[in-house]
Structures are given as C-alpha cells and as structure tokens.
Amino acid sequence: MFATLPDALRLFVVPVFAWAALRDVRTRRLPNRLWPPLYLFGALLLLWETARLWPLAGFEGRLFLVQAAISLLFVAPLGYAFWYLGAFGGADAKALIAIAVLFPTFPAYEIAGTTLPLVDTQIGVFSLTVLTNTVLLALAYPLGLAGINLLRGERSATMFFARPVATDSLPDRHGRLFEDDAGTTRNGLDLDALRMYLRWRGATLADLRADPDRLRDPDSVGETHEPTDGGTHVGPRTDGGTPTGAEGEGGTERSESPDDPWAAERFLDEIDHGAYGTDAETLRGGLAVVARKDRVLVSPGMPFVVPMAVGLVVSLTYGDALFAVLGAIGLV
C-alpha cells in the first residue's frame, strides 16, 4: 500500500505551501483565510487517526498520544512565541501552527520498494522535523546572500546581511534599510513603512529625492491619503489614494509640530495602525539616507514560509537532516 489514507491526504497541503511560498516571495503578504481550512483539515485527520487507534491503550496508541501532544502543545505554541518575540511574522507563526496540526506524527509512503521519509527520528514528531529542517535551510540564507555579494564584487562586513541596491528601485523591493543617515544599522526603515509614508503624503520616491529640503519641512504636507499596508501589490505604487487628511494644497496648512522633520510624528499619529514598528526617528533616518544616496544597503530578509515549504518537501522525502548529521557523528 502506498500510504494510509490520512497520510495520502496530507500530501494535498504540499502545493498549498508551495503557492504560499511563491506569494510570500512576491508580495510578503499571505491572506488570513488561507489558514483556517488547513487547521480544520489537520484536526479532522487527527481525529481520524485517534479513532483508528482508540482507546490508545497499547504502545502504538500511547506513542501516538505523546507525539500528538508534543506537536500540538509544544511545536504549535512555538509559532506563537516566535511571533510574540518578533522572530516571526504573523503568517510564519500561522504556517508553523498549521504544520503542527497537520503533521503530528511521521507519515510513511511506499514508492518503488522504498519507504519515505528515509530518515526517521526516535521521538517521531514530524512537525518538529519540519521545523528543524526549516531552520537549517534558513541559516543557509546569509551564506547565499554573501555569495551573491562576492560575485558582484561587494566585500564588506555586512555582506551576510544586506546588499547594495539602487535607491530608485526601493518602491518595488521588500526588506528594510540596513543603514540610516548616521551609518550602518540593523534597525533601519522597513520598506513597507517607506511606501506607507509616501502614499500617505501623496508623493513618490522620485519627488522626495528631487526636492528633499522642501519635503523635509513639515509644512509641506497638505492633503494626506490612505497609506495602505505598504505592500508592493497594493496600488498605487508610491502615491496616495483616498484623501484622509484635511483638504488643501501642499504647503497651505500649518503642521501642528514645526519641529517635526518630514512630518514623521504626524504620519505616525494619523495612521490608524502601526508602521511595522517604525518610530519617528527611524523614519527620519531612513528618509534622509534615501534622499541623499543613489545606492543604499538593504537587508532583503527571507519569509520563513519559503524555507518552511522547502523544509516540508525535504522532510517528506529525505526526513530529518539534523538527526542524520547527528547520527553520522555518533551523537544519536
């Protein structure tokens, strides 16, 4: 038999995660409606297997209970914990929770006399294997970024974390600036927040770079617009949409804070949600550097859903890479 029916049905989530990874790369946005059906699907499969092993009295039943408990009560909460600590985005956390519900135990697939995954673990919690494979793949990302920088002749202390790009290309990029007007920083302006700011004041990046002295004056902000969520998939690309502030021509309305360069504090006060943790000082530093420099350092980041999708495929075929390495050196 190729696989049990629940394990065979679980393969349907692989293309879902592949689609999510592609969308995350392109837009850095995943719809919330994606996750509840996966949670429900996983819960139904879990109930199916529980009923098959009921009353969970023998060794197999008790092992299943322990594995399911670890997946649901340890791996799934890890997703929330990582999000709470700022290590995950919301979609990353929801994806890990989905994996924990869908894959509490190791599946098994018979293909041409070979049983996949090839490498099992002693504990047998498949969601934990997906997580460790995902982390290993994510750790390789800085090495890949450094390799790209080396091929382009960019050698610096930041080559593992960021790469120089044309400032004019920022409206179509994801990530965050790795510098501000004072120099290199790991807490630079998020590019989504930059797009939000430009849309809010109805300006383009080209406008800002062409006349930074005028736009730095908070009195230059007149009619303001809906900032959207800053995504590249949300139009318009760099200018505003529906007016949200007072009507009038730019420069005709006085700012409430004359000591507010770029009207950064006004922007953060007027929007009805946060700007990805951006404060006024970070916004000002980012605006200053993009107004002044033709090339800036950008940390592109890696959506965790991408290595998770690849890690899921690796886990379903090869198995637990970390366990294999530890076994090869005699630690397990």
- pLDDT tens digits for range 105-141: 999 999 988 999 999 998 999 999 999 999 999 988 8
- Helix, strand and coil in the chain, % to nearest 5: 55, 10, 35
0.95 exceeded by the pTM?
no
How far apart (Å, rounded) are the C-alpha atoms in residues 176 and 48? 45
- List, for residues 159-197, the tens digit of each pLDDT value: 999 999 999 999 999 999 999 888 899 889 999 999 999
Fold that domain 5-141+303-328 belongs to in CATH: Four Helix Bundle (Hemerythrin (Met), subunit A) (1.20.120)
How confident is the model over 250-267, as a mean pLDDT?
Answer: 67
Pairing mode, if any, of strands 295-299 and 183-184?
unpaired
Q: Determine contact, residues 319/129, Cβ cutoff 8 Å.
A: yes
Report pLDDT digits (tens) over 2-12.
889 999 999 99
Q: Where are the domains of the chain?
A: 5-141+303-328, 163-299
Kind of pairing between the strands at 183-184 and 109-111:
unpaired
Among candidate residues 231, 245, 254, 167, the one with its CA nearest the CA of residue 205: 167
H/E segment holding residue 261: none
What are the φ and ψ backbone dihedral angles of 176, each rounded to 5 degrees?
Answer: -145, 155
pLDDT digits (tens, 9 = 90+) for 301-319: 778 899 999 999 999 999 9
- For residue 52, the SS3 value is helix
**46, 126, 89, 30: which is closest to 301 by C-alpha?**
89
- Quick one: tokens of 238? 């760099």
Residue-level pLDDT at 124: 93
Length of the chain: 332
List pLDDT tens digits, range 34-87: 999 999 999 999 999 999 989 888 898 999 999 999 999 999 999 999 988 877
